Structure 1
Amino acid sequence: MVARCRRDGAIAGDWRAQLEAPRPVIRNPLAWCAWTLAALGATFMDRNPWLQGLLLLILVNVWLPYRRGRALHLRLGLMLGVIPVLFSVALSRFGEHLIVTLPAIPIVGGRWTWEAALFGASSGAALLLTVIAFGVLQSTVRSADLISLLPPLLYRAGTAFALSVAFAPKTVSSFHAIVEARQLRGQRSGWRSSPTILLPLLLTALEQALQYGESLDARGYGNRRRSRYRPISWAASDGIALLSAGIALLLTLAAHPASYNPYTNIVPSAPSILSVIALLLLAAPAAVAVIAREDHAADRD
């Protein structure tokens, strides 16, 4: 009984945290998609370390209000960002600025250079920025809103794909629940018990599939005429975000940034003015959120 009360209290706390979490000021999914596209364009078209650092600060400032206590994207991005550095330093032998010389160990032995470390750091920073950009998109836009942007020919395929992606983690959680229930009953575990685990897992998956089918049928899935429960609306903040993202993408394409190669010049060149302006325009969602929050506080006073 105590455990149940604790679980209920935890669940109530989670719902309270979700209700208190700030809702995105920019609610149009098309504006967030355009912003993500502009951020990805700036990430992959310019590897200048100064611009990567500025873009990282901007993306983190946009992502922080909507993180809802979850830092999975940041941890995943940091892990992916470290891997290219390790591979580049361990496998590359080029460069003049020496870090350390290891003994004659296969694969990793030899000269470790700063040029290789900076080259790997540039690639790792691009991966980190990509993960954070998609993390912002996932935190601010629902999958149903993204599917609603698809044309009619791809709408059903997109819905089926979204359901299949959402179905996978539920299957994994069902598997862990079945294994835990078997352990509580004192039943053995291992490959010999696979049939007794797969059968309940299959039945659970079929029940969930039937529930999905019933919910889709209740919502009129498969009808010839497509309906919208919540039509997409536009606000001034959405227009500002979309316009700033479009201008940022155009400026990034017009800047023609020179590729950064630490093997030829370890010191990065100064970024162009167009590239800096393009990155500053990507901070529009954070600026709009701050202005809207101040206006809301002034109205309450």
Structure 2
Amino acid sequence: MSARERLQHPAAWWLWGLGLATAASRTTNPMVLLLIIGVCILVVSERRDPSAPNPLMAFVVIGAMVVMFRLVLTVILGNGIRGETVLFTLPRIPLPEWASFLRIGGRVSLESLLYALYDALRLAAILACIGAANALASPRRLLRYLPATLYDVGTAIVVGLTFAPQLLSDARAVRSARALRGHDGRGIRELARLAVPVLEAAFARSLGLAASMESRGYGRAVRTTPRGRRTASVLAVIGTLGVLAGLYGLLDSSVGGVLGLPLLVIGVVVAGASLAIGASRDGRSGHRRDPWTWTETLTVICGAVPGGVLVVASAQGWTGVVPLPRAEPPPLPVLTVVAVLVAALPAWFTPRPRRALA
């Protein structure tokens, strides 16, 4: 297999996706968010392994459902935005005095709908970024590069992600078999009849997987000292708190990003020390590791560019990054558009999966 036919390192794709997700979390401009979703679709269509499933469209559909659900809730319950452009008025249901901060029905303004649309579209773009990373790099491939401390947790997550789609396939197969026998009912009773054979098949697969993993040494115990366990646990808790505080500071534009980046860096370093201590007690060998070349480095940079630009733009209050919900189209910051387009470059310079060459 040539260098242009190999699969790219999965960590590079996930870092690229996280960089785009960070950019999406810092803006509510609908044009920028739609451009981020378009970049995700473009890169996945060009560089996805055709032998693996494509979960991106499922994430896009979920994002569209989130947008619609948010708009419906805004129409019925409102969101606290009092706009001047009233589109229509619904019959209002009176509420007791203790629930005066809520409303059911009443005036629905264009500004309130735009605010809900912008905010929901941001979540949809973040979901698209995660779906793109999932489509470009399977979690099963990423499992090989987890530290030894997290290997058992990662194994459980990957097994869950692998078996969840299988449950849907089993449900469709059982329903088709029942339809061939003349049982084509619907409702709660039919769902109960489907659940028993589906859960039975899942239980049988779990037992087979457990026996297979035990025969390969997954049930072995790692010898640790009480002092080492306490040190690793304390560092893990401190690192996790630092990472959460740093991410909150970076992603929440209302608190600014002054302390977010330092806290995030400190949390990552402390959490890394905890993982290193745990990994030193549980050595693991690697087999056929994916190489890390200039394409992986450039892919991570392409994902970090929009994330960095949007973090700076939101912190400095650039015009159009967080637009006000108004009737006229929001201004489009050109530099943010260029930064997002940079994230589309991996669709051309990264290695193409081998089966996509035909």
TM-score by length of 1: 0.72
Q: Within 5 A, what are the aligned runs for 1:136-151?
A: 136-151=132-147
**Structure 1 residues 94, 24: closer, same or farther in 2, change over 3 A?**
farther
Please give the alpha-carbon distance, in whole angstroms, between the structure 2 residues aligned to 1:267 and 1:128: 20
Pairing 1:73–2:39 present = no
Whether the aligned pair in 2 keeps the contact of 1:26 and 1:237 (CA below 8 Å) is no
Q: Within 5 A, what are the aligned runs for 1:259-270?
A: 260=322, 262=324, 268-270=330-332
Whether the aligned pair in 2 keeps the contact of 1:240 and 1:284 (CA below 8 Å) is no
Cα deviation code 1:87-109 (max 9, x no counterpart): 22433361012222334467553
Matched with 1:14 is none
Residue 46 of structure 1 and its aligned partner are, at CA, apart by: 1.4
**Structure 1 residues 202, 281: closer, same or farther in 2, change over 3 A?**
closer
Residue 63 of structure 1 and its aligned partner are, at CA, apart by: 2.7
Pairing 1:127–2:123 present = yes
Please give the alpha-carbon distance, in whole angstroms, between the structure 1 residues aligned to 2:349 and 2:191: 56
Residue 110 (structure 1) aligned to one of 101, 106, 109: 106
Pairing 1:101–2:89 present = yes
Please give the alpha-carbon distance, in whole angstroms, between the structure 2 residues aligned to 1:174 and 1:196: 9
**Structure 1 residues 104, 147: closer, same or farther in 2, change over 3 A?**
same
**Structure 1 residues 262, 91: closer, same or farther in 2, change over 3 A?**
farther
Matched with 2:265 is none
Residue 242 (structure 1) aligned to one of 260, 276, 300: 300
**Structure 1 residues 226, 112: closer, same or farther in 2, change over 3 A?**
same
Residue 278 (structure 1) aligned to one of 325, 335, 339: 339
Pairing 1:86–2:72 present = yes
Residue 72 of structure 1 and its aligned partner are, at CA, apart by: 2.8
Residue 205 (structure 2) aligned to one of 193, 205, 208: 208
Residue 202 of structure 1 and its aligned partner are, at CA, apart by: 5.8
Q: Secondary structure at the match of 1:109?
A: strand
Cα deviation code 1:180-227 (max 9, x no counterpart): 6567667999869979974x6665344312321233245443565423
Residue 229 (structure 1) aligned to one of 280, 287, 293: 287
Pairing 1:44–2:25 present = yes
Whether the aligned pair in 1 keeps the contact of 2:89 and 2:108 (CA below 8 Å) is yes
User: Given residue 324 of structure 2, which amino acid in structure 1 is its aligned partner?
Assistant: P
Q: Secondary structure at the match of 1:53?
A: helix
**Structure 1 residues 100, 184: closer, same or farther in 2, change over 3 A?**
closer
**Structure 1 residues 292, 34: closer, same or farther in 2, change over 3 A?**
same
Matched with 1:54 is 35
Q: Secondary structure at the match of 1:260?
A: coil
Q: Which runs of 5+ in 1 are unaligned?
A: 1-22
User: Given residue 244 of structure 1, which amino acid in structure 2 is its aligned partner?
Assistant: C
Please give the alpha-carbon distance, in whole angstroms, between the structure 1 residues aligned to 2:204 and 2:86: 61
Please give the alpha-carbon distance, in whole angstroms, between the structure 2 residues aligned to 1:204 and 1:38: 39
Residue 236 of structure 1 and its aligned partner are, at CA, apart by: 2.9
Whether the aligned pair in 1 keeps the contact of 2:60 and 2:128 (CA below 8 Å) is yes
Cα deviation code 1:246-287 (max 9, x no counterpart): 3333333333253625358965344262x3343122112123
Please give the alpha-carbon distance, in whole angstroms, between the structure 1 residues aligned to 2:44 and 2:190: 46
Whether the aligned pair in 1 keeps the contact of 2:37 and 2:129 (CA below 8 Å) is no
Matched with 1:11 is none
Whether the aligned pair in 2 keeps the contact of 1:32 and 1:137 (CA below 8 Å) is yes
Tell which deviates more after alignment, 85-94 or 62-71: 62-71
Whether the aligned pair in 2 keeps the contact of 1:88 and 1:119 (CA below 8 Å) is no
Tell which deviates more after alignment, 184-193 or 42-51: 184-193
Q: Which runs of 5+ in 2 are unaligned?
A: 95-102, 221-281
Please give the alpha-carbon distance, in whole angstroms, between the structure 2 residues aligned to 1:214 and 1:39: 40
Please give the alpha-carbon distance, in whole angstroms, between the structure 2 residues aligned to 1:179 and 1:265: 49
